[in-house]
Protein backbone atom coordinates (compact mmCIF):
# COMPACT_ATOMS: atom_id res chain seq x y z
CA UNK A 1 0.00 0.00 0.00
CA UNK A 2 2.78 2.43 0.87
CA UNK A 3 4.52 1.72 -2.42
CA UNK A 4 1.40 2.42 -4.50
CA UNK A 5 0.76 5.64 -2.58
CA UNK A 6 4.34 6.77 -3.21
CA UNK A 7 4.05 6.10 -6.94
CA UNK A 8 0.72 7.95 -7.00
CA UNK A 9 2.32 10.97 -5.35
CA UNK A 10 5.27 10.78 -7.73
CA UNK A 11 2.86 10.76 -10.67
CA UNK A 12 1.07 13.81 -9.26
CA UNK A 13 4.36 15.68 -9.12
CA UNK A 14 5.29 14.59 -12.63
CA UNK A 15 1.94 15.85 -13.93
CA UNK A 16 2.63 19.19 -12.29
CA UNK A 17 5.89 19.57 -14.23
CA UNK A 18 4.29 18.50 -17.51
CA UNK A 19 1.43 21.00 -17.07
CA UNK A 20 3.77 23.89 -16.21
CA UNK A 21 7.16 23.02 -17.77
CA UNK A 22 8.55 26.56 -18.10
CA UNK A 23 7.68 27.42 -14.50
CA UNK A 24 9.33 24.16 -13.39
CA UNK A 25 12.55 25.12 -15.15
CA UNK A 26 12.42 28.65 -13.74
CA UNK A 27 11.92 27.38 -10.18
CA UNK A 28 14.30 24.43 -10.08
CA UNK A 29 17.11 25.74 -12.30
CA UNK A 30 16.87 29.55 -12.16
CA UNK A 31 20.40 30.22 -13.43
CA UNK A 32 19.87 28.16 -16.57
CA UNK A 33 16.38 29.62 -17.04
CA UNK A 34 17.57 33.22 -16.88
CA UNK A 35 17.87 33.56 -20.67
CA UNK A 36 14.58 31.83 -21.52
CA UNK A 37 12.20 34.37 -23.02
CA UNK A 38 8.59 34.22 -24.23
CA UNK A 39 9.77 33.07 -27.67
CA UNK A 40 11.15 29.79 -26.32
CA UNK A 41 9.10 26.61 -26.52
CA UNK A 42 9.25 23.92 -23.83
CA UNK A 43 8.19 20.43 -24.91
CA UNK A 44 8.14 17.27 -22.74
CA UNK A 45 9.81 14.44 -24.66
CA UNK A 46 7.45 11.67 -25.69
CA UNK A 47 7.54 8.81 -23.22
CA UNK A 48 6.67 6.19 -25.82
CA UNK A 49 9.75 7.10 -27.83
CA UNK A 50 11.98 7.13 -24.75
CA UNK A 51 10.71 3.75 -23.59
CA UNK A 52 11.30 2.25 -27.03
CA UNK A 53 14.76 3.75 -27.50
CA UNK A 54 16.12 3.58 -23.94
CA UNK A 55 14.42 0.37 -22.82
CA UNK A 56 14.64 -0.50 -19.15
CA UNK A 57 17.00 2.40 -18.46
CA UNK A 58 14.06 4.77 -18.92
CA UNK A 59 12.14 5.64 -15.77
CA UNK A 60 8.62 6.87 -16.50
CA UNK A 61 8.66 9.16 -13.48
CA UNK A 62 11.53 11.24 -14.86
CA UNK A 63 10.56 14.27 -16.93
CA UNK A 64 12.89 15.30 -19.78
CA UNK A 65 11.99 18.75 -21.16
CA UNK A 66 13.34 20.07 -24.46
CA UNK A 67 13.68 23.86 -24.73
CA UNK A 68 13.67 25.11 -28.31
CA UNK A 69 14.19 28.52 -29.91
CA UNK A 70 11.95 28.69 -33.01
CA UNK A 71 14.17 31.32 -34.65
CA UNK A 72 17.16 28.99 -34.39
CA UNK A 73 19.30 31.48 -32.49
CA UNK A 74 20.38 28.76 -30.05
CA UNK A 75 20.72 25.00 -30.10
CA UNK A 76 17.98 23.18 -28.20
CA UNK A 77 18.60 22.67 -24.47
CA UNK A 78 17.54 19.50 -22.66
CA UNK A 79 16.46 19.67 -19.02
CA UNK A 80 16.29 16.32 -17.20
CA UNK A 81 14.11 16.64 -14.09
CA UNK A 82 14.16 13.61 -11.81
CA UNK A 83 11.89 13.55 -8.79
CA UNK A 84 12.76 11.43 -5.74
CA UNK A 85 10.34 10.83 -2.91
CA UNK A 86 12.61 8.27 -1.26
CA UNK A 87 16.19 9.65 -1.19
CA UNK A 88 17.49 6.15 -0.50
CA UNK A 89 16.52 5.16 -4.04
CA UNK A 90 18.56 7.90 -5.66
CA UNK A 91 21.59 6.81 -7.68
CA UNK A 92 23.92 9.39 -9.18
CA UNK A 93 25.40 6.66 -11.41
CA UNK A 94 21.95 5.90 -12.85
CA UNK A 95 21.27 9.61 -13.36
CA UNK A 96 24.58 10.10 -15.18
CA UNK A 97 23.90 7.05 -17.35
CA UNK A 98 20.40 8.31 -18.11
CA UNK A 99 21.66 11.80 -19.08
CA UNK A 100 24.31 10.31 -21.38
CA UNK A 101 21.70 8.10 -23.04
CA UNK A 102 19.38 11.06 -23.57
CA UNK A 103 22.22 13.22 -24.90
CA UNK A 104 23.08 10.47 -27.39
CA UNK A 105 19.43 9.98 -28.35
CA UNK A 106 18.86 13.71 -28.90
CA UNK A 107 22.30 14.29 -30.44
CA UNK A 108 23.19 17.12 -28.05
CA UNK A 109 25.69 18.00 -25.34
CA UNK A 110 23.40 20.70 -23.91
CA UNK A 111 21.90 18.86 -20.94
CA UNK A 112 20.90 20.22 -17.51
CA UNK A 113 20.27 17.48 -14.88
CA UNK A 114 17.99 18.47 -11.98
CA UNK A 115 16.99 16.27 -9.04
CA UNK A 116 14.02 17.32 -6.90
CA UNK A 117 14.07 15.64 -3.50
CA UNK A 118 10.65 15.71 -1.86
CA UNK A 119 12.39 14.24 1.18
CA UNK A 120 16.11 14.40 1.88
CA UNK A 121 18.65 12.83 4.18
CA UNK A 122 21.01 15.73 3.49
CA UNK A 123 23.78 13.41 2.33
CA UNK A 124 22.87 12.48 -1.21
CA UNK A 125 25.96 12.52 -3.48
CA UNK A 126 26.08 15.61 -5.69
CA UNK A 127 29.16 14.83 -7.82
CA UNK A 128 30.53 11.79 -9.61
CA UNK A 129 34.13 11.61 -10.76
CA UNK A 130 35.64 8.72 -12.70
CA UNK A 131 39.39 8.50 -13.23
CA UNK A 132 42.68 6.82 -12.42
CA UNK A 133 45.66 7.62 -10.22
CA UNK A 134 46.85 10.51 -12.39
CA UNK A 135 43.82 12.09 -14.00
CA UNK A 136 40.05 12.44 -13.77
CA UNK A 137 38.36 11.50 -17.00
CA UNK A 138 34.67 12.01 -16.38
CA UNK A 139 33.02 14.49 -14.04
CA UNK A 140 29.26 14.74 -13.49
CA UNK A 141 27.13 16.92 -11.25
CA UNK A 142 23.51 18.01 -11.11
CA UNK A 143 21.32 20.75 -9.64
CA UNK A 144 20.10 19.56 -6.24
CA UNK A 145 16.68 20.82 -5.12
CA UNK A 146 15.79 19.50 -1.66
CA UNK A 147 12.40 21.11 -1.09
CA UNK A 148 12.38 20.34 2.62
CA UNK A 149 15.40 22.64 2.96
CA UNK A 150 13.65 25.56 1.23
CA UNK A 151 11.93 28.10 3.49
CA UNK A 152 8.24 28.18 2.54
CA UNK A 153 7.89 31.73 3.84
CA UNK A 154 10.22 32.93 1.09
CA UNK A 155 7.68 31.75 -1.50
CA UNK A 156 4.45 32.90 0.24
CA UNK A 157 3.71 35.42 -2.54
CA UNK A 158 5.66 33.92 -5.45
CA UNK A 159 4.27 34.39 -8.96
CA UNK A 160 5.55 30.91 -9.84
CA UNK A 161 2.57 28.59 -9.59
CA UNK A 162 4.69 25.50 -8.95
CA UNK A 163 6.35 27.24 -5.99
CA UNK A 164 2.95 28.04 -4.49
CA UNK A 165 1.64 24.51 -5.04
CA UNK A 166 4.78 23.03 -3.44
CA UNK A 167 4.69 25.15 -0.26
CA UNK A 168 3.63 22.12 1.79
CA UNK A 169 6.80 20.28 0.68
CA UNK A 170 9.04 23.08 1.91
CA UNK A 171 10.13 23.92 5.46
CA UNK A 172 7.58 25.63 7.70
CA UNK A 173 6.83 25.64 11.41
CA UNK A 174 3.76 24.00 12.90
CA UNK A 175 2.10 27.35 13.59
CA UNK A 176 2.48 28.26 9.89
CA UNK A 177 0.65 25.25 8.53
CA UNK A 178 -2.72 26.91 7.92
CA UNK A 179 -1.07 29.98 6.41
CA UNK A 180 1.01 27.75 4.18
CA UNK A 181 -2.17 26.00 2.99
CA UNK A 182 -3.98 29.32 2.45
CA UNK A 183 -1.07 30.77 0.47
CA UNK A 184 -1.03 27.68 -1.75
CA UNK A 185 -4.78 27.97 -2.41
CA UNK A 186 -4.51 31.72 -3.03
CA UNK A 187 -1.72 31.10 -5.53
CA UNK A 188 -3.76 28.45 -7.31
CA UNK A 189 -6.80 30.73 -7.63
CA UNK A 190 -4.88 33.81 -8.77
CA UNK A 191 -2.24 32.20 -11.02
CA UNK A 192 -4.28 29.46 -12.73
CA UNK A 193 -7.35 30.76 -14.64
CA UNK A 194 -8.59 27.33 -15.76
CA UNK A 195 -11.28 26.10 -13.29
CA UNK A 196 -10.66 22.44 -14.08
CA UNK A 197 -6.95 22.78 -13.37
CA UNK A 198 -7.77 24.71 -10.21
CA UNK A 199 -9.78 21.76 -9.00
CA UNK A 200 -7.11 19.29 -10.15
CA UNK A 201 -4.36 21.04 -8.21
CA UNK A 202 -6.50 21.68 -5.17
CA UNK A 203 -6.31 17.89 -4.83
CA UNK A 204 -2.52 18.15 -5.20
CA UNK A 205 -2.37 20.70 -2.35
CA UNK A 206 -4.61 18.53 -0.17
CA UNK A 207 -2.54 15.39 -0.76
CA UNK A 208 0.72 16.95 0.40
CA UNK A 209 -0.69 19.27 3.09
CA UNK A 210 -2.66 16.54 4.90
CA UNK A 211 -4.86 18.78 7.05
CA UNK A 212 -6.65 16.75 9.71
CA UNK A 213 -10.30 17.33 10.63
CA UNK A 214 -9.54 19.90 13.33
CA UNK A 215 -7.19 21.81 11.02
CA UNK A 216 -9.82 21.88 8.28
CA UNK A 217 -12.37 23.36 10.68
CA UNK A 218 -9.84 25.94 11.85
CA UNK A 219 -8.90 26.77 8.25
CA UNK A 220 -12.53 27.40 7.31
CA UNK A 221 -12.87 29.73 10.28
CA UNK A 222 -9.65 31.69 9.65
CA UNK A 223 -9.78 31.75 5.83
CA UNK A 224 -13.49 31.76 4.92
CA UNK A 225 -12.99 33.53 1.58
CA UNK A 226 -10.48 31.00 0.23
CA UNK A 227 -12.58 28.10 1.51
CA UNK A 228 -15.78 29.47 -0.06
CA UNK A 229 -14.04 30.17 -3.38
CA UNK A 230 -12.88 26.58 -3.77
CA UNK A 231 -16.18 25.15 -2.46
CA UNK A 232 -18.11 27.20 -5.05
CA UNK A 233 -15.73 26.08 -7.78
CA UNK A 234 -16.18 22.44 -6.82
CA UNK A 235 -19.96 22.71 -6.88
CA UNK A 236 -19.99 24.56 -10.21
CA UNK A 237 -17.74 22.02 -11.94
CA UNK A 238 -19.76 19.17 -10.45
CA UNK A 239 -22.99 20.70 -11.80
CA UNK A 240 -21.40 21.30 -15.23
CA UNK A 241 -20.18 17.71 -15.30
CA UNK A 242 -23.62 16.37 -14.41
CA UNK A 243 -25.29 18.53 -17.10
CA UNK A 244 -22.73 17.48 -19.70
CA UNK A 245 -23.28 13.85 -18.78
CA UNK A 246 -27.07 14.29 -19.01
CA UNK A 247 -26.86 15.87 -22.49
CA UNK A 248 -24.44 13.23 -23.71
CA UNK A 249 -26.69 10.54 -22.30
CA UNK A 250 -29.73 11.97 -24.10
CA UNK A 251 -27.82 12.22 -27.38
CA UNK A 252 -26.48 8.72 -26.98
CA UNK A 253 -29.96 7.48 -26.12
CA UNK A 254 -31.46 9.09 -29.21
CA UNK A 255 -28.78 7.57 -31.43
CA UNK A 256 -29.25 4.14 -29.87
CA UNK A 257 -33.02 4.46 -30.27
CA UNK A 258 -32.68 5.28 -33.96
CA UNK A 259 -30.37 2.32 -34.51
CA UNK A 260 -32.73 -0.01 -32.67
CA UNK A 261 -35.69 1.20 -34.73
CA UNK A 262 -33.77 0.66 -37.96
CA UNK A 263 -32.88 -2.88 -36.90
CA UNK A 264 -36.57 -3.63 -36.31
CA UNK A 265 -37.58 -2.30 -39.75
CA UNK A 266 -34.83 -4.25 -41.54
CA UNK A 267 -35.76 -7.39 -39.64
CA UNK A 268 -39.41 -7.12 -40.72
CA UNK A 269 -38.46 -6.43 -44.37
CA UNK A 270 -36.09 -9.41 -44.42
CA UNK A 271 -38.80 -11.69 -43.02
CA UNK A 272 -41.30 -10.53 -45.67
CA UNK A 273 -38.75 -11.14 -48.47
CA UNK A 274 -37.05 -14.31 -47.30
CA UNK A 275 -39.13 -15.82 -44.50
CA UNK A 276 -38.19 -16.51 -40.88
CA UNK A 277 -34.71 -15.41 -39.79
CA UNK A 278 -32.35 -17.83 -38.09
CA UNK A 279 -30.51 -17.05 -34.84
CA UNK A 280 -27.26 -16.23 -36.67
CA UNK A 281 -28.95 -13.56 -38.83
CA UNK A 282 -30.71 -12.04 -35.82
CA UNK A 283 -27.40 -11.88 -33.93
CA UNK A 284 -25.75 -10.25 -36.95
CA UNK A 285 -28.44 -7.57 -37.03
CA UNK A 286 -28.05 -6.91 -33.31
CA UNK A 287 -24.27 -6.47 -33.57
CA UNK A 288 -24.36 -4.22 -36.65
CA UNK A 289 -23.38 -0.55 -36.54
CA UNK A 290 -25.24 2.33 -38.21
CA UNK A 291 -23.27 2.15 -41.47
CA UNK A 292 -23.90 -1.58 -41.88
CA UNK A 293 -27.63 -1.18 -41.22
CA UNK A 294 -27.92 1.56 -43.84
CA UNK A 295 -26.05 -0.56 -46.40
CA UNK A 296 -28.24 -3.61 -45.80
CA UNK A 297 -31.42 -1.53 -45.99
CA UNK A 298 -30.42 -0.32 -49.47
CA UNK A 299 -29.84 -3.91 -50.69
CA UNK A 300 -33.06 -5.53 -49.47
CA UNK A 301 -35.29 -4.55 -52.42
CA UNK A 302 -32.90 -5.83 -55.12
CA UNK A 303 -31.27 -8.80 -53.35
CA UNK A 304 -32.32 -12.28 -54.43
CA UNK A 305 -31.25 -13.92 -51.15
CA UNK A 306 -30.11 -13.22 -47.60
CA UNK A 307 -26.56 -13.89 -48.70
CA UNK A 308 -26.74 -11.03 -51.22
CA UNK A 309 -27.99 -8.64 -48.52
CA UNK A 310 -25.10 -9.48 -46.20
CA UNK A 311 -22.35 -9.93 -48.76
CA UNK A 312 -19.06 -8.32 -47.76
CA UNK A 313 -18.50 -6.38 -51.00
Distance between alpha carbon 241 and the CA centroid of its chain, in Å? 20
3-state secondary structure of 143: strand
Residue 115: CB partners within 8 Å, gap ≥ 6? 81, 82, 83, 84, 90, 95, 124, 142, 143, 144, 145
Q: In which element (H, E) is residue 108 found? A: none
Q: Where are the domains of the chain?
A: 1-149, 237-309
pLDDT of residue 56: 59
pLDDT of residue 6: 41
pLDDT of residue 132: 92
pLDDT in single tens digits along all 313 residues of the chain: 344 444 456 677 888 888 999 999 999 999 988 777 777 888 887 665 555 555 655 565 578 888 887 766 678 888 888 888 888 888 899 889 888 888 888 888 999 999 999 888 788 899 999 999 999 999 999 999 999 999 999 999 999 999 999 999 999 999 999 999 999 999 998 999 888 788 888 888 888 888 888 988 888 888 888 777 776 666 655 555 545 545 554 455 555 555 676 777 777 777 766 777 788 888 888 888 878 887 887 777 677 778 888 887 6
Q: What does the alpha-carbon distance between residue 238 and residue 44 come to, in Å, rounded to a whole number?
A: 31
pLDDT of residue 152: 95
Q: Cβ(77)–Cβ(85) under 8 Å? A: no
pLDDT of residue 58: 54
The size of the chain, in residues, is 313
3-state secondary structure of 111: strand
Q: In which element (H, E) is residue 138 found? A: strand 136-141
pLDDT of residue 161: 96
Q: What does the alpha-carbon distance between residue 226 and residue 222 come to, in Å, rounded to a whole number?
A: 9
DSSP structural state of residue 151: B
Q: What does the alpha-carbon distance between residue 211 and residue 218 come to, in Å, rounded to a whole number?
A: 10
Please state the pTM of the whole predicted model. 0.68
pLDDT of residue 131: 93
3-state secondary structure of 115: strand
**Phi, psi at residue 81, to the nearest 5°?**
-100, 120
3-state secondary structure of 155: helix
Find, among 168, 156, 189, 163, the residue nearest to 16 by Cα.
163
pLDDT of residue 2: 41
Amino acid sequence: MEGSRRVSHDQNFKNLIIDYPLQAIQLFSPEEAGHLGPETRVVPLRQEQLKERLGERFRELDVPLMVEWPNGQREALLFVLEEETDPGRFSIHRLAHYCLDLADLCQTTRVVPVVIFLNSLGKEPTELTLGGDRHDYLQFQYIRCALAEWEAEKYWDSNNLIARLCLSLMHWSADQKLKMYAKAVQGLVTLEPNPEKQLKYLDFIDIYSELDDNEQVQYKAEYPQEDQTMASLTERLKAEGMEQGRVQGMEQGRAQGMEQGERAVISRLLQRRFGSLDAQTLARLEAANQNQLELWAERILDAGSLAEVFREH
